[in-house]
Structure 1
Amino acid sequence: MVSPLKRQRDQLLQSETQTVAQAATVNTDSLHLRLIEFENDKKALKNFNAIADRITHKRDVLVPKYRAVAEAYLAAGEHYENPIFTTLTLWMFDIGDLETAIAWCLKAIEMDLPTPENIKRDWPTFCADHVLEWAEREAERGHNIEPYFSQVFEKVMNDWRLHEKVSAKWFKFAGYYLLRDDEGKPRPAAVGDIETLEKAQALLQKAHEFYDKIGVKSVLDRIPQRINALKDGKNL
């Protein structure tokens, strides 16, 4: 004969199991509906002819609308493919939220998620390309490129296996950045510190080794001349 206490425990367990199953069904259905809505919103982006208008719509409407969905996905610690999360990661680069873009990109790499089907590059290459393009624009305007440049450059140097030309571009920019004159041009003669010159030399040499057509040879050849001039006490 089943005791009243055991019957009560069994009923409680059955009730909890049904509740969990119902919650899972609700969550699955909810995500399915959000994905349908998300796909429709993505298609609506094509109504904007100007790229700037698409970016504005992403920043002001779509990212605020779906960000909580992506954040909930990350907080749950799930590893299934979530098109809302991966697409929003791309859009974070578009709207200039590099802090979130890089953090989510690194998370996508950690979770071994594929990039959206319309993107042919993997996550490291996509991130490297976009952050370098951003750093080049910001440097040309005289703006600060930290901490995002160094954060990604550390990955380029130590963790990511990128195409040689992509790596070469990063090392070239890093070397040229140390050699900038007042006009932002790479000019060894404008640098009065031997340690900085040697760092730039090592970076540009690495760029040349990765891809010898990267175009750093002329600047690279002028660095030893500048170092020798400083050692000799000359200001050439």
Structure 2
Amino acid sequence: MTSPARRHLARIAAATAIIGFDPAAKGGNRSTTTIVNAQLADYQAAMAIDLAKIKAEPTLEGKARIKQTVLPTYLGFVDEYMDKAHNYPNDVAVLVMIWLLDIGSIEIGLNLALFLVKQQQKMPERFNRPMPEFLCDFIYDWANVELKAEHSASPYLDQLIAAAEADKWDMNPLFLSKLYSMLAKHKKRNGDYAEALALCLKAEAINPDKAGVKGMKEELQKLLDQAALSAQS
């Protein structure tokens, strides 16, 4: 009969094979090596099963429904991980973050993402990019959808930009430039022309050749000039 220890090791092996997690890998700024405990291994095993369900579902809508259904299984574990300021390679928390964003839970997903970025957690290999770049692209695309629907992207777009600036994220300037440009568009829609123009100038400052804000900048300057003339008359 298989011993509890062997069953435990089998759970870890199964999770590792399906999720792509290596318990021995270094994944974040940590002063000491953390041994993956039984609780994490159990959640990895559960997540491997849920990932298989998601993969088998052919539609994006169906995949989103499955994610929404299974997410409560992991939220308590992730909350405790954050509350106790743990820091070890945590692929469960990373996938929870991705799923939260996928189902439109932007506030919770972004807060978790910023916590994980500070720890330099790794994205799953299939994403082939660091977490800050993934996050910038995701929030940019989400904010663009909100703009077209005439919905605000604040405070989440602002929050992401503030974090990237404060922590000096090491990434191609294109990513932050895109965020400045997108926030400028939202500010322009709201009539905050001075703030929008300042964001255009920031986008150009870090990405002079490809910021793509020249037209918006000129339009904003005209609007500000017109407002100044109106105020004088």
Q: Which TM-score band (shorter chain)? A: 0.7 to 0.9
Aligned residue for 1:118, secondary structure, equals helix
1:210 alignment partner AA: I
Which of 184, 189, 193 in structure 2 is aligned with 1:197?
Answer: 193
Which of 204, 209, 212 in structure 1 is aligned with 2:205?
Answer: 209
Which of 112, 117, 128 in structure 2 is aligned with 1:120?
Answer: 128
Superposed CA deviations along residues 44-75 of structure 1, whole A, max 9, x for unmatched, are 21111111210111012x21222223233334
Mapped partners of 1:76, 1:200: distance in 2: 39
User: How far apart are 1:91 and its partner, in Å?
Assistant: 0.9
Which of 160, 174, 185 in structure 2 is aligned with 1:176?
Answer: 185
Equivalent in the alignment of 1:230? 227
Mapped partners of 1:203, 1:46: distance in 2: 40
- Aligned pairs for 1:46-195 (under 5 A) are 46-60=55-69, 62-159=70-167, 160-180=169-189
Gaps of at least 5 residues in structure 1 are 1-26, 182-190
Count matched residues.
195
Gaps of at least 5 residues in structure 2 are 1-35
Mapped partners of 1:226, 1:77: distance in 2: 47
Give the superposed CA RMSD. Answer: 2.6
Greater radius of gyration (CA): 1
Mapped partners of 2:165, 2:84: distance in 1: 31
Compute the TM-score of the two structures, normalised by the length of structure 1: 0.71
CA, structure 1 residues 28+215, in 2 after alignment: closer, same or farther (shift >3 Å)?
Answer: closer
- Are the equivalent residues in 1 in contact too, given 2:123–2:129 (CA < 8 A)? yes
2:177 alignment partner AA: A
- Which structure has more relative contact order (CA 8 Å, sep 6+)? It is 2
Equivalent in the alignment of 1:187? none
Superposed CA deviations along residues 143-191 of structure 1, whole A, max 9, x for unmatched, are 232221221121234333332211111111122222228xxxxxxxxx5
Compute the TM-score of the two structures, normalised by the length of structure 2: 0.72
Report the identity percentage.
22
CA, structure 1 residues 202+44, in 2 after alignment: closer, same or farther (shift >3 Å)?
Answer: same
- Are the equivalent residues in 2 in contact too, given 1:131–1:149 (CA < 8 A)? yes
User: How far apart are 1:30 and its partner, in Å?
Assistant: 4.5
